[in-house]
Amino acid sequence: MHNWNELARFGLVELAIVAAVLAYWRLGPDRATGKTALLLASLLIGVLLALFSRSYQTGADIWELFAIWAALIAPWVIIGRLAGLWMFWLALANLSIIFYVKTYPWLFGMFLNTEHGLWMLFALNSLALLCWELAARRIAWLAKRWAPRLLAIASATSITLLMLLGLFFQDIDTALIVYPAWLVCACAAYRVASRDLIVLAVGCLSLIVVVTSFLVEQIFVRQRHGGGETIDFLFIALAVFGMAAASGWWLKKLVRESRQ
Amino acid sequence: MRSVVAIAACVAALSLVNHSIFGIERKLGSGRVVLIELALVIPRSNLQGDYMDLRFNLAPEVRNALNLAPIMTSKLAPFFSLQSEQPRRDGRIVAGLDANGIATYRRLDDGTPPAGDEVLLQYRVREGQIRFAGNSFFFREGTAERFMQARYAEFRVAPDGDLLLTGLRDRYFTPL
């Protein structure tokens, strides 16, 4: 630190970034190679920021690294017309929120806890999923199924966790309304309006987890009141087995339908 | 058009990073050298590399002065917290410096300017801990042995209390 050796290392990474951006320009913004060059430049910005945070140990929080990274590459994401770049940017946004809530949980003078963090992630990923699906109808380079599927998994994970919190803690009840609404919307969008079996399978898995947790919670309640038998757990095992079989049967039926 | 935006964004991003580099070099590179005595160093590693987890002798005194609740003991605490309140604010303390430049706790910063042998030090409260510049010292992989002898953390401190962790020193004040 404070020497030319260290500054030379910054220079090297910055040169690589400049080279990648010039390559984007020379190779052409609409060619796959040009787009890859822009993705590479976006990754190298992260290398530069990591080098910065290691060279100058000021105690900056890790969420700042991800948030600044996302901010700096935002213009490239917008002009890049590359699905992978958008997904990478959304991943950075997710990481910023996760680490922000974990390490510096204040926003507008309010203390953020895990529940607030999950709502923020749910809002971000669901909104991104909605925009993606609507835009993909007109924009060809967005029509990659893996991206909305990942967003659907992210959205499902956060709302499922919120629903579990709602089941186990009395004072968290918003999810008890939002979760069923989310399931209905997902079913309407991916069973009726369009057909995506992977998203439907994720929905089934989420429902199985929620129902199982609900049953476990009921057993705990009964045990607290002196009742509750070991056989209750056998019942849960059977319920899981039954729900998994039913989901499998339903999804298989949908596959057969879409083949016809 | 898109190429122009790409190049402009590149220039903007690199200017911002370089501005920060030179800003830190100017502000803290010329800052006062302050040593804080270490209670403990624990070698750890994460995604960013190998580092020493530093525990400062100053921290308990700051804790007491701030009336912080005891550190959360739940194993789930780092991942999961449903609390809606936590006494937490970053701030500055006034520390006295002895002949060797070792900082000792004097008081919380109350706005009165520090005396000649005093400096402002910024602290952060993270996960129930008092931290000075992040509490971690990153070093090259495989050199942990050398830094285990550390007794002092060496900081550059700007007049407003901003800190830069610049190295570790052993008990004879020799830089490691």
The closest CB to that of B86, out of A50, A102, A111, belongs to A111
Average pLDDT, chain A: 89
Name the band, by pLDDT with cuts 50, 70 and 90, for residue A220.
Answer: confident
Could you tell me the two tokens for B30?
A: 């010329």
- Predicted pLDDT at B71: 55
Range of the domain at B43: 32-169
* Poorest-pLDDT segment among A3-7, A13-17, B14-18, B47-51: A3-7
CB atoms within 10 A of CB A124: 19
Is B98 found in the same domain as B18?
Answer: no
CB-nearest partner of A113 from B25, B82, B136? B82
Structure tokens at B76: 């789930």
* Cα-to-chain-centroid distance, residue A222: 36
Q: Are residues B63 and B10 in the same domain?
A: no
Element (H, E) at B66: helix B58-66
**Which one has a higher pLDDT value, A6 or A65?**
A65
The reply to whether B175 falls in a domain is: no
Chain-chain contact of B126 with A50 (C-beta, under 8 angstroms): no
A224: confidence class by pLDDT, cuts 50, 70, 90: confident
pTM score of the predicted model: 0.86
Per-residue model confidence (pLDDT) at position A227: 67
pLDDT band per the 50, 70, 90 thresholds, residue B73? very low
| Dist. CA A216–CA A172, nearest whole Å | 18
Looking at the structure, do residues B24 and B107 belong to the same domain, yes or no? no
Q: Judge whether B158 is closer than 8 Å to chain A, CB to CB.
A: no
CA proximity to A87, closest of A44, A145, A19:
A145
Residues B8, B66, single domain; the answer is no
Query: Which band of pLDDT confidence, cut at 50, 70 and 90, is reported for residue A85?
Result: very high
B38 and B61 part of one domain: yes
Residue type, A47: V
Tell me: do B68 and B137 sit in the same domain.
Answer: yes
Q: Does the structure show a pLDDT above 70 at B166?
A: yes
Q: Which two tokens stand for residue B105?
A: 């706790």
Helix, coil or strand: residue B57: coil
* pLDDT over 70 (residue A74): yes
B13 and B92 in a single domain? The answer is no
Phi, psi of A195 (to 5 degrees): -130, 110
The band of A6, judged by pLDDT with boundaries at 50, 70 and 90, is confident
Count of domains observed in chain B: 2
The predicted-structure confidence for A171-198, as pLDDT tens digits, reads as follows 778 888 999 999 999 999 998 888 889 9
**What confidence tier does B134 reach under pLDDT thresholds 50, 70, 90?**
confident
ipTM of predicted assembly, 2 dp? 0.83
Which helix or strand (DSSP H or E) is residue B30 part of?
none
Of B3, B12, B164, the CB nearest to A56: B164
- pLDDT of residue B72 exceeding 70, the answer is no
Q: Does A115 touch chain B (CB under 8 A)?
A: yes
Classify residue B133 by its DSSP letter. Answer: G
The DSSP element (H or E) to which B45 belongs, if any, is strand B32-46
pLDDT band at A106 (very low <50, low <70, confident <90, very high): low
Of B69 and B138, which is predicted with more confidence? Answer: B138
Closest Cα to residue A214, out of A245, A249, A239? A239
For chain A, domain boundaries: 1-103
**Domain assignment present for B174:** no
Summarize pLDDT for A109-140 with one digit per residue, the tens: 556 678 888 999 999 999 999 999 999 988 98
Q: Does the residue B145 lie in any domain?
A: yes
> Considering only CA atoms, which of A114, A116, A126, A118 is closest in space to residue A90?
A126
Residue A167 — very low, low, confident or very high, per pLDDT cuts 50/70/90? confident
Look at residue A60 in the predicted model and tell me its pLDDT.
84
pLDDT band at B85 (very low <50, low <70, confident <90, very high): low
Residue type, A129: L
Position A1 scores a pLDDT of: 46
Distance from CA of B63 to the nearest CA of A (A): 18
Tally of CA atoms within 13 A in the half-sphere of A243 that contains its CB: 17
- Residue B125 resides in a domain: yes
Q: What does the pLDDT read at residue A67?
A: 96
* Whether residues B66 and B151 fall in one domain: yes
Any residues with CB less than 8 A from the CB of B143 and at least 6 apart, and which?
B50
Q: In what order do the strands lie in the sheet with B49-56?
A: B136-138, B49-56, B32-46, B152-157, B163-169
Asked if residue B101 and residue B18 are part of one domain, the reply reads no
Q: Is B127 on the interface with A (CB under 8 A)?
A: yes
Q: Do both B133 and B92 map to the same domain?
A: yes
- How far apart (Å, rounded) are the C-alpha atoms in residues B35 and A81? 51
For chain B, say whether A61 makes contact (Cβ under 8 Å). Answer: yes
Is the same domain home to B86 and B73?
yes
Q: Does residue A260 register a pLDDT over 80?
A: no
Do B88 and B103 sit in the same domain of this protein?
yes
Q: How confident is the model at residue B141 (pLDDT cuts 50, 70, 90)?
A: confident
The verdict on A69 touching B (C-beta cutoff 8 Å) is no
The mean of the pLDDT values for chain B is 84
State the average pLDDT over residues A33-55.
Answer: 93
Q: Is A232 exposed, middle or buried (0-12, 13-18, 19+ CB in 10 A)?
A: middle
Q: Find the CB nearest B7 among A21, A58, A114.
A: A21
User: Which has more pLDDT, B87 or A151?
Assistant: A151
Three-class SS string for chain A? CCCHHHHHHHHHHHHHHHHHHHHHHHHCCCCHHHHHHHHHHHHHHHHHHHHHHHHCECCCCHHHHHHHHHHHHHHHHHHHCCHHHHHHHHHHHHHHHHHHHHHCCEECCEECCHHHHHHHHHHHHHHHHHHHHHHCCCCHHHCCCHHHHHHHHHHHHHHHHHHHHHHHCCCCCHHHHHHHHHHHHHHHHHHHHCCCHHHHHHHHHHHHHHHHHHHHHHHHHHHHCCCCCCHHHHHHHHHHHHHHHHHHHHHHHHHHHHHC
The model's pLDDT over B109-128, given as tens digits with 9 standing for 90+, comes to 888 888 888 999 999 887 77
